Amino acid sequence: MNAYVGTPTSRVDGRAKVTGAAQYAGEFQAAGLLHGFVVTATIARGRIVRLDASEALRVKGVVDVLTHANRPPLADDDDAWKDEVAPEKGSPFRPLYDDVIRFNGQPVALVVAENWETAKFAATLVRIDYEQDGFATDLDAKRGHAIELDKPHKPRGDAETALNGAAVRHEADYVIPTEHHNPMELYATTTVWEGGNRLTVYDKTQGVQNVHKYLCSVFGKKPEDIRVVSPYVGGAFGSGLRPQHQVVLATLAALALERSVRVVLTRHQMYGLGYRPMTIEHVALGASADGKLDAVVHEAIAVTSRHEDFARNDTGWAEQLYRSPNSLLSHKLVHLDVSTPCDMRAPGAASGVCALECAMDELAVALKLDPIELRLKSYSERDQGEDLPYTSKQLRECYARGAESFGWNRRNPAPGSMRDGKELVGWGMATGVWEALQMPVAVRIVLTANGHAEVSCAASDIGTGTYTIVAQVAADALGLPIETIDVKLADSTFPQAPVEGGSWMAASSAHAVLAAAEDIRQELARLAKAMPGSPVGSVDIPDLVLVDGMIANGNDKSRAVSIADVMRHSRLERVEKQKLNQFAEDKSHARNTHSAVFAEVKIDEELGVIRVTRIVSAVAAGRILNTKTGRSQIMGGVVWGIGMALHEETVMDHRFGRIMNADIAEYHIPVNADVHDIEIIFVDEPDHRINRLGVKGLGEIGIVGVPAAIANAVYHATGKRIRRFPITVDKLLD
Amino acid sequence: MGDATHDIPERTPVHVIVNGVSHTLDLAPWTTLLDALRDHLALTGTKKGCDHGQCGACTVLIEGRRVNSCLTLAVMTDGAEVTTIEGLAKDGTLHPVQQAFIDHDAFQCGYCTPGQICSAAGLLAEGRARDADEIRELMSGNLCRCGAYPNIVAAIQQAMSRS
């Protein structure tokens, strides 16, 4: 029965969020709560030679100032600090571990006081002398120092020869700047001292069990000593995948002082966390005169920290999208004196596909081909890197539906040819692609005799809608109204879940619910059959279904018995089942989501002001569990794409290795007035192979392709190619 | 610890009516209305997103006018009536803007939502916004990183049409 799956169900946590009842990490109360304020380094590389906290300590209400010199013990091997998504290679940053400064903005002390204002004031009184070493933060300047990753994509054919012999070729660098996630909620942890050395840690994170394991290993604690809880997360977008500075600092202070401690980072301090790394994307495409791709070369040169090798798949996406007999793909890193980058919405793809899809547009212009036609000429039915077919790929349909809705056939291809009054009009398009991943997740379902079910799982809902889709799938699988389903998430003591990321949680959690619900069904079916005079006594267990609070013969629903009667008769107050999802091992197919994005920009010819007046995004992502929250996720990705195209850039003053716009006014993100018509089309994409429900996930695909579609629209409006993002007025008027 | 080198200034009594309930708080004069609500009255529905008046997450209504509570010292609100997100629903019935936000899925993570809703309630009272473009412009002081803006505009239009 599908009363809920696939419908536009409103968020089950909606009421909590619109009334202010939803509690976030920095909002949990504890008796005698202390407040920590972080002091950060003001140099990019070097050593603390003197740290004087005496003046801060004299402030009334200050309890302690914790530094590398007086902190409690911390693990001293890298493995203890490697969380489940830490880069394989490198040495994770350890807050307050030693006197070494690795990046500007690094936490170097925590002032703990009876209230927040006092801690904040006293933090200004901590005096630090540094010994500064030479440092480098400029990727453009250090490009020549790039080191190739030791796991390159396998080259196919001979791309360089093919490129040299191509009838038409296009080659250019595209530059994606460093970007920061800037979730609305400040990073916060409230660590509650429970006595007896036990801690409850309310943390802003995308993975409570990841943080739990990390804290246990960093502080040498037994698993039962620490519980990590995070019922609501005010946005994260990848920044909460790894445990962040404040959770170490709050917990360290709680252990040192045997008190409850809250640490909230300021917006400014959040720029010392991870970020989307700046990359220089070099793309070279060669095609035959009739527009078939013959060579793809894509090299990414990305920033990482000096202490960790963070790298994502920027350059592999052409293998998925475009048939080409020759390809050469590589990823290089430049080690700089900065904090380690981290995943940010569609990591790798948002940047790499942006470059690829701008390059494809430039190639289409060189070939005098329509951009869609160019893409269809090299449409790939296989993942060429793995040489596999797809479980499903309705990208052709995305192009067709998106183009139709946008009105693409009315486009005059000549740049600068379309106008609306004094504004130039540009129409551009691009393709998007992401992976459809699924991970081990378990849920526990407790069905009680009153017809309610509690569904629990350690997974987080970072705004993605996990609470709601888990409730929908459970309601359908148990045959109960959604109002009777109580979903509990993000407690490290709940059944296992990985971090919420990579767009894998919808498929993974939904199938865990199905697995646990199936065990509930079997148990109830056995009990129902065993009742004396049971109306379903002769029905085989596989034929019994849960529907409308009954256990019924699936072939004849009039033969049924109520779940309440079965439980009463069996003298059961509750039926409890916990199960891990099971996905069949299948390496015979590639799994991806796809999109076609169409953008309209209007540009004031004299002032260069760009407005994105329309976006149509046609998405093929398997079955959509919730068309309402799913549409919102894609829309959010589109808004991120507008930001990436036109607004977002973390600006570094390389003389000091310091970020100059470390706030949310100077770092521009789209505001309401920047966002106009966005149309989301979910293309029908039945997928019977990927998993039982045919679900692929939606968190990342929404952003991919959007920046390129806008950049291509800007070119169409103006004839100008801006290859260094974001596309700002000064670049357009230059 | 702590001697007289850096004494925190004397506390000041502040009388404020929040969601119809009268409170007298003893506050350091530098305490913002936002921190007074969150830390002293445990009304954490009002959110801190920047503490610099840049994001709007802390928007509350003072005498019906929408204001960034992070830029408002609590002492400035002495005697004033403050409405926060916790005070918008009446007798368990959601304010039309709250209901419209659920209906139109005008939020994801929910962190900017109390500020958006208070700001929207203030906007309705101002009566200045007549169409979607004006709503977009007049709601641009409230950032939403989840990118729910089109749904926020739709929600406000629904609430406008029903008020």
Over range A177-196, report the average pLDDT: 97
Exposed e or buried b for every residue in A346-367, given b needs 16+ CB within 10 A?
Answer: bbbbbbbbbbbbbbbbbbbbeb
B96-162: same fold as B4-87? Answer: no
Give the model's pLDDT for residue B10. 77
Over range A573-599, report the average pLDDT: 95
Q: Report the mean per-residue pLDDT for chain B.
A: 94
Give the model's pLDDT for residue B2. 43
Backbone angles phi, psi at A228, to 5 degrees: -115, 130
Q: Do A19 and B103 touch (CB under 8 A)?
A: no
CATH number of A19-134+183-266: 3.90.1170.50
pLDDT band at A147 (very low <50, low <70, confident <90, very high): very high
Q: Is domain B96-162 classified as CATH 1.10.150.120?
A: yes
pLDDT at B47 over 50: yes
pLDDT at B89 over 70: yes
- d(CA A525, CA A546) in angstroms, rounded, equals 9
Residue A134 · residue A45 · CB < 8 Å: yes
Helix (H, G, I), strand (E, B) or coil at B107: coil
A624 to chain B, minimum CA–CA distance in Å?
16
Q: What is the per-residue pLDDT across A314-348, written as a single tens digit (0 to 9) for each?
A: 999 999 999 999 999 999 999 999 999 999 999 99
- d(CA A318, CA A356) in angstroms, rounded, equals 7
Q: Is domain A275-437+587-733 classified as CATH 3.40.50.300?
A: no
* CATH superfamily for domain B4-87: Beta-grasp domain (3.10.20.30)
A18 → closest Cβ in B101, B143, B144: B101
- Residue A348 has what DSSP assignment? T
- d(CA A671, CA B116) in angstroms, rounded, equals 12
Q: Which residues of A touch B111 (CB under 8 A)?
A: 24, 183-185, 234-235
- Residue B39 has what DSSP assignment? I
CB proximity list for A244: less than 8 A, separation 6 or greater: A187, A204, A205, A265, A273
CB proximity B45 to A under 8 Å: yes
Give the model's pLDDT for residue B6. 65
Give the model's pLDDT for residue B82. 98
Distances (CA, A) of A52 to A48, A99, A116, A129, A625: 11, 13, 21, 9, 56
Q: Which helix (H) or strand (E) holds B125?
A: helix B113-126
Give the model's pLDDT for residue A123. 98
CB proximity A414 to B under 8 Å: no
Q: How far is CA A358 from the centre of its chain?
A: 23
Domain A439-581 falls in which CATH fold? Aldehyde Oxidoreductase; domain 4 (3.30.365)
pLDDT band at A150 (very low <50, low <70, confident <90, very high): confident
- d(CA A459, CA A467) in angstroms, rounded, equals 9
Exposed e or buried b for every residue in A609-621, given b needs 16+ CB within 10 A?
Answer: ebbbbbbbbbbbb
Q: What angle do CA A393, A396, A401 make, to 5 degrees?
A: 115
Choosing from A179, A308, A649, A700, which is the catalytic residue?
A: A700
Give the model's pLDDT for residue A553. 96
CB proximity A255 to B under 8 Å: no
Backbone angles phi, psi at A466, to 5 degrees: -60, -45
B54 → closest Cβ in A29, A665, A678: A665
As given in the structure block, the two tokens for residue A161 are: 């020869």
Q: Do A18 and B45 touch (CB under 8 A)?
A: no
So where are chain B's domains? 4-87, 96-162
Helices A627-646 and B149-162 cross at an angle (nearest 10°) of: 120
CB proximity A185 to B under 8 Å: yes
Over range B129-145, report the average pLDDT: 97
Please choose, from the candidates A488, A484, A471, the residue with its C-alpha nearest in 3D space to the C-alpha of residue A232. Answer: A488
Q: Do A21 and B45 touch (CB under 8 A)?
A: yes
Q: Which residues of A touch B45 (CB under 8 A)?
A: 19-21
Give the model's pLDDT for residue A520. 98
Share of chain B above pLDDT 70, in %: 94
Which residues between 37 and 66 in chain A have a beta carbon less than 8 angstroms from any beta carbon of chain B?
A: 55, 57-63
Q: Report the mean per-residue pLDDT for chain A.
A: 97
Give the model's pLDDT for residue A149. 86
- Residue A133 has what DSSP assignment? P
Give the model's pLDDT for residue B163. 72
Give the model's pLDDT for residue B9. 67
CB proximity list for A404: less than 8 A, separation 6 or greater: none
pLDDT at A1 over 80: no
Residue A700 annotated to the active site: yes
Q: Which helix (H) or strand (E) holds A319?
A: helix A318-321
Residue A413 · residue A370 · CB < 8 Å: yes
pLDDT at B1 over 50: no
Please choose, from the candidates A37, A267, A124, the residue with its C-alpha nearest in 3D space to the C-alpha of residue B58. Answer: A267
pLDDT at B3 over 50: no
pLDDT at B14 over 60: yes
**Is the Cα torsion angle B123, B126, B127, B128 positive or negative in sign?**
negative
Task: Identify the burial level of A79 via C-beta atoms within 10 angstroms of its C-beta, where 0-12 means exposed, 13-18 middle and 19 or more buried.
Answer: exposed
pLDDT at B59 over 80: yes
A439-581: same fold as A275-437+587-733? Answer: yes
- d(CA A46, CA A128) in angstroms, rounded, equals 12
Among B3, B6, B25, B26, the strongest candidate for a mutation testing the A interface, having the largest count of A CBs within 10 A, is: B6
**Is the Cα torsion angle A67, A73, A77, A82 positive or negative in sign?**
negative
Residue A714 · residue A632 · CB < 8 Å: no
So where are chain A's domains? 19-134+183-266, 275-437+587-733, 439-581
